[in-house]
Amino acid sequence: MLDYYTFFLIIFTILFIIIKCNFNFTLLDKYIYYSDQYITDYIIYRLIFYIILGLITGFDDILLFILRTILLEFSILYVNQCNYTKIDLNSGLYSVLLGVISYIFGSILKILMKSDNLIYYYIIGSVLSTIIYLIAKCYFQFDKLDKFLYNNDESIIEFVLFRFVYYFILGYIFQFNGLFSSIIQTIIIEFLIAYVERCQINNINWETGILSIIIGLTSYLIGATISYYYNK
């Protein structure tokens, strides 16, 4: 599988360099290159692309994958200006980091999908739901859930109650099974939700993200503790 991926990667990169540099092809620029205007498109493209790769290949030859990702992302950056002296190194490193993290996440999902533990299906479902919400919020201005997801003076009660009830129920159902996975998933999900509030990675409401994580994990532990002693 990886050999086919490498072959496709080389052919795609060569074709893209030829088309971009000789015919000024810009249709894919908003997905491939980092910019404040198209930051959501840029992130979603890499999330989907690399998570799918992780789901397909798993952790097979991950070091080779990282090397391929570095070569691919910096080749793409070269193509942006068609001049290797004008490569944005910071953008390249950010793309590689986002790609590798997304790939590892996809590889972990592949492992979880083979598990019979119900909590792993919840983790997969919550991640997919968050990505769908990201697209709906940033592309179609969907704001029907804002008062439950974001902290502000007008909806602080809804914000706190939603998270308390939601995570309490999760804790009651799953108890302490897969607790570490739940903590990691909660941190990732809540910061993705915080990003979606303004759809700008450099304008994340960190206070809301941290507060959401604290409320979520506390509620989960309360629910898990009550369930553990009640169902002994």
107 and 6, same domain (yes or no):
yes
**Tokens, residue 63:** 């070091």
pLDDT digits 0-9 by tens, 190-208: 888 887 777 776 677 788 8
| pLDDT score, position 153 | 74
**Tokens, residue 103:** 């790939």
Q: Residue 88 is part of which domain span?
A: 2-112
Would you say residue 137 lies in a domain? no
Amino acid code (one letter) for 83: N
7 and 85, same domain (yes or no):
yes
Would you say residue 217 lies in a domain? yes
The count of domains in the chain is: 2
Amino acid code (one letter) for 104: I
d(CA 198, CA 209): 13
| pLDDT score, position 218 | 93
d(CA 225, CA 232): 11
Residue 2 predicted with pLDDT over 60: no
pLDDT digits 0-9 by tens, 6-55: 777 778 778 887 887 888 777 777 777 777 777 777 887 888 888 888 87
Confidence grade of residue 222 (pLDDT, cut at 50, 70, 90): very high
Please count the CA atoms within 13 angstroms of the CA of 232 that sit on its side-chain side. Answer: 5
pLDDT digits 0-9 by tens, 98-140: 888 888 878 877 776 666 666 777 777 777 777 778 778 877 7
25 and 104, same domain (yes or no):
yes
Taking the CA atoms of the chain, what radius of gyration do you get in angstroms?
Answer: 20
Instruction: Write down which residue in 95, 112, 129 finishes a domain.
Output: 112
